[in-house]
């Protein structure tokens, strides 16, 4: 393998990784039960609680990518036959519904066109109508660039039997995520978005209400690998450290360092940085006459979907951006395939220099 | 995080990682669809085929640890109600049975005491008696140090409807693994044992017979994350590169480099190195008067279970070995808990220097 070519990662993830995180990945290994490793794991868990704004005991990194976290959230909380309501306005809502179906749920979707939000009242109506055991929605739809309003959903479900599951893969560390204040019962994220750590781990957090449901299950969790109670027996020092699977040490070094960088900058400061630079990018694209595809007022600063002029060969132009400018952006998916780009400004990638570079490159290519 | 303390990893995994692999982990990221990344993935797949000694098209690294590979092998091949036979003579046989149960299988176990093999004829008898759809056994039991004879099982099952699943987590790269010659239908491994790459990926391979069963399923695979047909749509370049989940780029860099080191040394040479050094360690332990717990004639060179003298406080002595000598070994599990150690000599850890060091340290501690 030759050394990777110079890239600026402005796609939907992975984002560029800080050199300090890359350095940490290359450190010599420790065993997953080494007394010198366990404090690192403990710090990862504590820092994840800070990042998620939660006191949830059941907070930990799943040994898989964001989609493994999604599956963990769903299969731990769903029992066969459970009515489950899922909001679907992009790829990742669709994935939630699919995972719920495979877990044997009775799935009801609330669907909206790509680029539109799901009105919280409509989502809550569906939860009530179907007496949902689990209600799942995506906070930051990576396929559309939509920021879903979710702040009031958890409160409305708080006194019911419904567990509120939130996909924070692209939101955590990019825009405010308030697990406790919003009464979210299970959330999952990915390391490779606004946390700016390589892909491979999925931070998750489960509320006490969710853990109670898990403990009261009458059927085993269908996945052994993602069974939260078994994983907690290793991560949670309180009851000893029961081996479940071999922890991915190097990736945990990386997440540890990435979370320290996040907390050194400060959550609010990082949110503000994303907001400022996302706004700068979106203003620049609009000035160029390009349409933004996410509903106005609900645009993610860290992930922008932008339409391309008619007649442009999307994949060819995107390859040119990569080859001539060394900049990676994402193509459109689903309803946006072939006619849109997804431009990410996440974590270490979210810099004024990168906004200027990508705007100049797009102007050059479309020139 | 301070720099990790000096350790020599002679436990049941992770093993020590070659500096070239550590260096590769710290390289800047590429996107998982970057034209500069895809050849790396293709080489990983090709080199895994060489390591597994197979031509199986369906060969790839699962984005999780060895236990995720175990679950992938079972849930892709099992449909609810399928009779499944599992050999259980240690932790990992037990885990196979548990995962099969959670997949809805009708599970029949063939059990033996820890440290003993399962006679292939007894295993095959059970497969015939129960008309097994899947027959799963562990090649190298990491909990007992037993090398299970498996060479003739696949041939006996070849003309039946039974799919032969083999756990090669600790065997791959350490002792001969011959997927095609042995007619194995699904095998999985881990990166952190004899491949000497950090934990976090699970190489898997599926035969055409297994893929045919997968394609003919009447129920969906219960796991979306581990659904082989969906993963193959990304890994297999033939049908384009359909996004499934974000590939763990840094870990794939590491596996890529680790496989190159394996193939540069040569599979046979690495097997021979493990055989020679494992023998040297086992001879040394016997000379010290310590009992080997795996059945004679079926001892893994890369993982030795050794009994401790009566009255020795196992955990305390093991901690002393770590603190005073910087050497990690594993404690006993299950039937061996509290009275045995597991000493690994895997991949980069398998050196004459390490054998001398650990023997001298044990003599010193027991002195």
Asked if the interface predicted TM-score (ipTM) of this complex is over 0.90, the answer is yes
> Residue A50: how many CB atoms within 10 A of its CB?
13
| E strand or H helix that includes residue B330 | strand B330-331
pLDDT digit string, tens, across residues A10-24: 999 999 999 999 999
Count A/B contacts: CB-CB distance under 8 Å: 210
Q: Which of B5, B23, B247 sits opposite A199 (nearest CB)?
A: B247
Could you tell me the two tokens for B8? 């020599």
Residue A304, pLDDT > 70, answer yes
Average pLDDT over residues A157-178: 97
CA distance B3 to A305: 41
pLDDT more than 70, % of chain A:
99
Question: Does position B122 have pLDDT exceeding 90, yes or no?
Answer: yes
Backbone dihedral region for residue A279 (phi beyond 0: left; psi -120 to 50: alpha; all else: beta) = alpha
* Residue B81: per-residue pLDDT: 98
- Of B26, B40, B64, nearest to A1 by CB-CB distance is B40
A128 marked as part of a ligand binding site:
no
Q: How confident is the model at residue B243 (pLDDT cuts 50, 70, 90)?
A: confident
Cβ pair B248:A253 closer than 8 A: no
Percent of chain B with pLDDT over 90: 95
Confidence of residue A76 (pLDDT cuts 50, 70, 90): very high
Q: Is the pLDDT of residue B212 over 90?
A: yes
Cross-chain CB nearest to B65 (options A13, A34, A63): A63
What is the least distance, in Å, from the CA of B73 to any CA of chain A?
12
Distances (CA, A) of B281 to B346, B363, B367: 12, 12, 18
CA A61 centroid distance within chain:
13
pLDDT at B2: 82
Q: Which of B91, B89, B158 is nearest to B127 (CA)?
A: B158
Say yes or no to pLDDT of A111 above 70.
yes
Contact B31 A251 (CB under 8 A): no
Of A4, A200, A322, the CB nearest to B27: A4
pLDDT greater than 90 at residue A351: yes
Q: Exposure of B129 by Cβ count < 10 A (0-12 exposed, 13-18 middle, 19+ buried)?
A: exposed
Question: Given the structure tokens 């979907």, which residue do they identify?
Answer: A305
The stretch B184-206 carries a mean pLDDT of: 98
pLDDT digits (tens, 9 = 90+) for A264-302: 999 999 999 999 999 999 999 999 999 999 999 999 999
Q: Work out the minimum CA distance from B347 to partner chain A, whole angstroms.
A: 14
Residue B328 has its nearest CB partner, among A5, A31, A328, at: A31
Q: Evaluate if residue A37 carries a pLDDT over 70.
A: yes
Average pLDDT over residues A313-317: 97
The candidate with the shortest Cα–Cα distance to A299, out of A178, A153, A148, is A148
B310-328 mean pLDDT: 97
Q: Which segments within A7-153 are labelled E, that is strand?
A: 8-9, 58-62, 83-88, 106-111, 134-138, 140-141, 146-147
pLDDT of residue B311 exceeding 80, the answer is yes
pLDDT recorded at residue A235: 85
Contact A95 B225 (CB under 8 A): no
* CB atoms closer than 10 angstroms to residue B244: 20
Tens of pLDDT, residue by residue over B257-295, are 999 999 999 999 999 999 999 999 999 999 999 999 999
Q: What is the pLDDT of residues A168-194, one digit of tens each?
A: 999 999 999 999 999 999 999 999 999
Given this model, what pLDDT does residue A234 score?
A: 87
Lowest mean pLDDT among A200-209, A308-317, A325-334, B235-244: B235-244
Assess whether pLDDT exceeds 80 at residue B240. Answer: no
Domains of chain A: 8-13+267-366 (3.90.1150.10), 19-263 (3.40.640.10)
Interface test with A, best of B98, B169, B199, B217 (most A CBs within 10 A): B199
Average pLDDT of chain B to the nearest whole number: 97
Chain B residue with the nearest C-alpha to that of A42: B1
Q: Is the pLDDT of residue B242 over 90?
A: no
pLDDT of residue B345: 98
pLDDT at residue A240 tops 90: no
What pLDDT shows up at residue A239?
66
Closest alpha carbon within chain A to B44: A1
Chain-centroid distance of CA B50 in Å reads 16
Q: Which residue of A has its CA nearest to B318?
A: A34
Binding residues of B for substrate, as ranges, are 342
The pLDDT of residue B77 is above 90: yes
| B220:A27 CB<8 A | no
Inter-chain CB proximity B322 and A247 less than 8 Å: no
Model confidence at A242, in pLDDT bands (50, 70, 90)?
confident
| Cross-chain residue pair A102–B199, CB shorter than 8 Å | no
For range A317-343, the mean pLDDT: 97
Q: Does the pLDDT of residue B164 top 90, yes or no?
A: yes
Predicted confidence band at B236 (pLDDT cuts at 50, 70, 90)?
confident
Query: What single-letter DSSP state applies at residue A205?
Result: E
CA-CA-CA-CA torsion for A231, A39, A44, B29, nearest 10 degrees?
-100
Answer whether residue A214 shows pLDDT above 80. Answer: yes
Is the model more confident about B235 or about B267? B267
For the beta carbon of residue B151, count every other beta carbon within 10 angstroms. 12
């Amino acid at each position: 393998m030759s050394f990777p070519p110079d890239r600026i990662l402005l796609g939907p993830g992975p984002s560029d990784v800080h050199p300090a995180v890359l350095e940490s990945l290359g450190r010599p290994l420790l065993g997953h039960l080494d007394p010198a490793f366990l404090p690192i794991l403990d710090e990862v868990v504590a820092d994840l609680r800070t990042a998620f704004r939660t006191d949830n005991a059941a907070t930990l990194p799943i040994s898989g990518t964001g989609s493994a976290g999604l599956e963990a959230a769903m299969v731990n909380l769903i029992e066969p036959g459970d009515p489950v309501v899922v909001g679907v306005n992009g790829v990742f809502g669709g994935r939630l519904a699919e995972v719920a179906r495979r877990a044997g749920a009775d799935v009801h979707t609330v669907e909206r066109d790509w680029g539109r939000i799901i009105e919280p009242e409509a989502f809550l109506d569906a939860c009530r109508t179907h007496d949902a055991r689990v209600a799942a929605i995506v906070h930051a739809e990576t396929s559309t660039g939509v920021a879903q309003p979710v702040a009031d959903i958890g409160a409305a479900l708080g006194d019911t039997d419904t567990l509120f599951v939130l996909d924070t893969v692209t939101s955590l560390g990019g825009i405010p995520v308030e697990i406790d204040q919003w009464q979210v019962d299970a959330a999952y994220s990915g390391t490779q978005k606004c946390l700016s750590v390589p892909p491979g781990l999925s931070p998750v957090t489960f509320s006490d209400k969710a853990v109670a449901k898990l403990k009261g299950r009458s059927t085993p969790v269908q996945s052994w690998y993602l069974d939260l109670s078994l994983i907690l027996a290793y991560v949670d020092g309180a009851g000893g450290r029961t081996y479940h699977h071999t922890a991915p040490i190097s990736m945990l070094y990386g997440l540890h360092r990435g979370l320290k960088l996040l907390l050194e900058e400060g959550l609010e400061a990082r949110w503000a940085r994303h907001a400022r630079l996302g706004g700068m990018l979106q203003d620049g694209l609009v000035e160029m006459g390009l349409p933004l595809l996410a509903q106005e007022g609900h645009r993610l600063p860290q992930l922008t979907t932008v339409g391309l002029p008619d007649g442009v060969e999307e994949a060819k132009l995107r390859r040119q951006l990569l080859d001539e400018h060394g900049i990676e952006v994402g193509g459109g998916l689903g309803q946006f395939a072939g006619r849109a780009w997804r431009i990410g400004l996440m974590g270490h990638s979210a810099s004024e220099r990168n906004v200027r570079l990508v705007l100049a490159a797009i102007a050059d290519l479309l020139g």
